[in-house]
Amino acid sequence: MQNSAFSIHFVVNSLVTLLHYVPITLLITALSICLGLVLGLFVTIGQLVPNRVLNGLSIGFIALMRGTPMLLLLLLIYYGLPLLLQSFAIDISGWNQVVFAILALSINISAYFSETMRSAYSAISADQYEAGLSVGMSNKRIISRIIVPQATAIALPNIGNSMISIIKHSSLVYAIGITDIYQQAQTVASSTFGMRQLEVFVAVALIYWMICILVERIIAVIEGRFSYLR
Amino acid sequence: MREGSATYAELYADYHEFGAIALFNTAFFKESFPQVLSGVPLTLGLSLASILAGIILGLLIAAIRIKNIFFFTGVSKVFVSFSRSVPLIVILYVLCYAVPQLTSGGGGQGQSGVQISPNLIAIATFGLFAGAYLSEAFRAAYYSVDSGQKEAAISVGLSSFQTFRRIIVPQAIRSCLPNFTSVFIDVIKGTSIVYNISIFEIMGKANLVGSRGYRYIEAYSIALIIYLVICFTIYIIFKRLELHLSKKY
Amino acid sequence: MIKIENIYKRFGDHEILKGPSLSVNDGEVVAIIGPSGSGKTTLLRCINFLERADKGKLTIDDASVDFEHATKKEINQMRKQTAMVFQSYNLFKNKTAIENIMEGLIYSKKLSRNEAFKTGEKLLQRVGLGEKADAYPKQLSGGQQQRVGIARALALNPSVILLDEPTSALDPELVGEVLNTIKEMAREGQTMIVVTHEMAFAREIASRVVFMEGGVIVEEGTPEEIFENNKKERTKEFLKRITYRN
C-alpha cells in the first residue's frame, strides 16, 4: 500500500478500468452527433425558407437551446417526455435511458449545428449561385456541387468544436442513470475510501482529453481535404 | 444521485396513486418558484467571480502566446487544449480532490489535508474553463486589428504602450464581444452542475424542491424559465453594447 | 533636407533595394514612379523605419543614422521628423476625425488637449472637412478619410511628409479631392516624397520625378525631362505601358 499523496500507478490502474466504458461514451456521442446534424439541417432549412412561422419557430428553438443548461435539458426530457407522450396515449416507459440521453444531446447540439450551417451557407456569396445559373446548372446541382462543398469547408472548424462539446456534455448522463466513463470514475473513486479519488479523476480527464485530441486530428485531416478551397 | 434513481415506473406509480394523472401541478409550480429563485444570487455570484477570474487568466495566456515566451507558450497551449477537452464536471472533481489529497500526506481518509470551500472550487473550475476559451477569443481579437493601425500609430509617434492601450485594445474589445458573450453564458449554464459539491444554486434548489413528492418536472420547469431569463438578459445587454460600438467602429 | 545614401534591403533571398541614393531639398516635392516590385514603396517605408533597411545612411536635416546600426533612440528621433500618408488611409478606427489628429499631438508632441484640439480644427478646415470633426472613419468616404490622414500628417509639422500611393485605393471620382489637397500642400512649400501611379499628378506638382525599377534609380529629373525627353530605354518602356493603359 503506497502512502504517498499521489500515485501515478493508481492513475494507470484507473485508466485501464475506465477504458472499458469508453465505448458507451463514444456510442452515445456518435449517435448524438449524427442525429444532431440531421435535426440541425431541418432547423437551418426552417430558418431559411420564406415561411414566417417556420422562421420564428427555428429562431425560437435555437434561442431556447442556447439558454438551457445541458443537464437541465437532459433531466427535463427524461422526466418530461414520457409524461408528455402519455397524454397522447404513447407509452415509452420501457425505453432505455440511453435513448433519452441521445435525444437530449442531439436536440441541444442541433441548435448549434444549425447556426453553423446557416452562417456557412450565408457566407457563400450569391455570385457563386449566379455563376452556376449562368452556365446552365439546375438549382439542385448548384447547391450540391458548388454551394455545399464550399459551405462544408467553412463550417468544419465549428462543427469540430460542437463535436467536442457533445463529448463533454455526454459526461452528464450520469444524472439519468447511465454509467459512462465519468460515472464509472465516481464509482471507482468512492471505492478507494477517500484516498485515491484524485488519481481516478485525473485518469478520466486524460481519457476525455485523448478522445478530444483524436477528434480534433480527424477534423484537421478532413479540413485538409477541403484546403483546395482556400 | 437522486435524479437517476427515480425510474419511470416509480414516477408513473406516484402520479397514478393520486387518482388523476397530474401532468403538471400548477399550484406546486407557483409555490416552489420563490424557493428555486433563491438560488439565483449564488448562480450569478459564482458566474461573475468565475468570468472575472477567466478574464484575468485569459489575458495572461493570450499575452504569453502573442509574445511567444519560450517555455510558457508551450505550457499555455497544453493548458488550453486540456481545459477545452475535459468536461466541466470532471474538472470540478479533479479540483475538488486536488488540494485536500495532495496536502494530506497519504495517510488520511480523504478528510485530512487542506480543505477548500466548495465555492472556491467552483470558481476555480469555471475560471479555468473561461480562461482557456477567452484566451483564444482575446488572441483572435488582437490579430483581427488591422496592422495598418499600428503603422499609423508609429507614424504619428505613439509609443508601443500608447498604441496598445489607445488604439488596439478598444478595437480588440469590440472584436471579441460576441465570443465573450458566449463564454459568459456558457459559464452561467455550467454552474448548473455545482450542486454535486453541495452548492445550492438554481439547479441545486430545483433538485431539493423537486424531490419533495417527485415533482421534478415542475421544479425543472421553474429552473428552465429562470435560466432562460438570465441568459437572455445577458445576451441582450451585450448585443446592445456590440451595436453601440459598431455604430462608431 | 532629406538624404538617403546607398540603401540596401533584402527580403529573404530577394534583394529589393540595390543601393540607390536620393536627395530631397526643403520645399521640394519628389515623385517616385515605377513598376510594382521596383522597391519604391520599400524605399519610402525605410525612411520612417517601418521597414528596416540593411545598409545605408539616412540624413534628415542635421541628424544622420546608419541603417545597419541605428539604435532605438535614433530611430525614434528620425521618425519624429517624418509623417506618413498611407495607401489605405489607416485612420484610427476608434477615434473621430479630430481625435485622429489629436492623438499624435498629445502623446508624441506633448501638446495640451486644448492646443491639440485647436490645431486639429484648423487643419480639418484646411483640408475642407471642418464639419466632419466628430465623424468616425467608418462614417467617412475614402476621399474624406485620406484627407483626414493628410491633415493628421500635417499636424505633426514634420520635415518631410511621405505619401505611399495616396490615391491608389480610392474610387476614381474621389481621387481629385485628395490630389487637390496634396497640391495645396505642395504650393505651401511642404517637403514631400510621393510614391504614385498618377502620372498627370506627378507631372503637375513634382519638382523632380524619380523612376525606379529593379531596386535602383534608373533615371531622375524634372517632370519634362522624365515624361518628354527621357533618355533611358527602360523609362520609355515603362511610360509607354502606362500611357497605353490610360
The predicted pLDDT at position B108 comes to 52
B84 touches A: beta carbon within 8 Å = yes
- CB A201 to CB B90 under 8 A? yes
Digit-by-digit pLDDT tens for chain B (249 residues) are 344 555 655 555 555 444 334 567 788 888 889 999 999 999 999 999 999 999 999 999 999 999 999 899 999 999 999 999 999 999 999 999 988 888 876 555 545 677 889 999 999 999 999 999 999 999 999 999 999 999 999 999 999 999 999 999 999 999 999 999 999 999 999 999 999 999 999 999 999 998 887 788 889 999 999 999 999 999 999 999 999 998 888
Nearest to C88 by CA among C178, C2, C10, C216: C178
Chain C positions touching B154 (Cβ under 8 A) are 48-50, 79
Q: How far is CA A105 from the centre of its chain?
A: 6
B152 touches C: beta carbon within 8 Å = yes
Distance CA A73, CA A69 (A): 6
The predicted pLDDT at position B20 comes to 39
The fraction of chain A above a pLDDT of 90, given in percent, is: 60
Neighbouring-strand partners of residue C3: C23, C59
Predicted confidence (pLDDT) at residue C197 exceeds the cutoff of 90? no
Nearest residue of C to residue B158, measured between CA atoms: C108
What value, to the nearest 5°, has the Cα angle with vertex A80 and ends A77 and A85?
105
**What does the pLDDT average to over A145-157?**
89
Output b/e per residue, C8-44; b: 16+ Cβ within 10 A.
bbeeeeeebbeebebebeeebbbbbbbbeebbbbbbb
The predicted pLDDT at position A138 comes to 85
**What does the pLDDT average to over C172-194?**
93
Helix axes B169-190, B216-248, angle to 10 degrees: 180
The fraction of chain C above a pLDDT of 70, given in percent, is: 98
Chains C and B touch (3+ CB pairs under 8 A): yes
More confident call, C222 vs A92: C222
Predicted confidence (pLDDT) at residue C245 exceeds the cutoff of 70? no
More confident call, C241 vs C102: C102
| A147 DSSP assignment | I
**What does the pLDDT average to over A179-195?**
87
Q: Specify which of A134-148, B45-59, C232-246 reaches the highest per-range mean pLDDT.
A: B45-59
Distance CA C201, CA C29 (A): 12
Distance CA B160, CA B148 (A): 14
Instruction: Dump pLDDT digits (tens) for C45-73.
Output: 999 999 999 999 999 998 999 999 999 99
ipTM of the prediction: 0.90
Question: With contact defined as beta carbons under 8 Å apart, do C157 and C191 qualify?
Answer: no
More confident call, A227 vs C117: C117
Predicted confidence (pLDDT) at residue C182 exceeds the cutoff of 50? yes
Chain B positions touching A198 (Cβ under 8 A) are 94, 97-98, 101-102
Neighbouring-strand partners of residue C208: C30
C-alpha cell at A81: 417526455
* Beta-carbon contacts of residue B6 (< 8 Å; ≥ 6 apart): A79, B214, B216
The predicted pLDDT at position A212 comes to 96
**What does the pLDDT average to over C127-149?**
95
Distance CA A14, CA A98 (A): 24
Nearest residue of B to residue A92, measured between CA atoms: B8
C217 touches B: beta carbon within 8 Å = no
Question: Measured between CA atoms, how close is B67 to chain C, in angstroms?
Answer: 19
Residue B248 has a CB neighbour count (10 Å cut-off) of: 16
For residue C154, which amino acid is it?
Answer: L
* Beta-carbon contacts of residue C229 (< 8 Å; ≥ 6 apart): none
The predicted pLDDT at position B22 comes to 57
Chain A positions touching B225 (Cβ under 8 A) are none
How do the domains of chain A map onto residue ranges?
8-229
Q: What are phi and psi of C5, to 5 degrees?
A: -120, 125
B98 touches A: beta carbon within 8 Å = yes
Q: Is B247 exposed, middle or buried (0-12, 13-18, 19+ CB in 10 A)?
A: exposed
Distance CA A168, CA A156 (A): 19
For residue A59, which amino acid is it?
Answer: I
The predicted pLDDT at position A230 comes to 62
What value, to the nearest 5°, has the Cα angle with vertex B23 and ends B21 and B29?
125
Predicted confidence (pLDDT) at residue C199 exceeds the cutoff of 60? yes
Question: Measured between CA atoms, how close is C224 to chain B, in angstroms?
Answer: 33
**What does the pLDDT average to over C154-174?**
93
Distance CA B174, CA B249 (A): 8
Which SS3 state, helix, strand or coil, does residue A2 take? Answer: coil
Helix axes A22-48, A52-67, angle to 10 degrees: 150
Chain B positions touching C108 (Cβ under 8 A) are 156-158
Distance CA B186, CA B231 (A): 9
Distances (CA, A) of C232 to A226, C34, C217, C245: 50, 13, 11, 20
- CB C92 to CB B167 under 8 A? yes
Nearest residue of C to residue B152, measured between CA atoms: C90
Predicted confidence (pLDDT) at residue A145 exceeds the cutoff of 70? yes
Question: With contact defined as beta carbons under 8 Å apart, do C121 and C130 qualify?
Answer: yes
- CB B84 to CB A75 under 8 A? no
The helix (H) or strand (E) run that includes residue A192 is none
Rg (CA), chain A: 22
Helix axes A197-225, B70-85, angle to 10 degrees: 100
Architecture of the domain whose range is A8-229: Orthogonal Bundle (1.10)
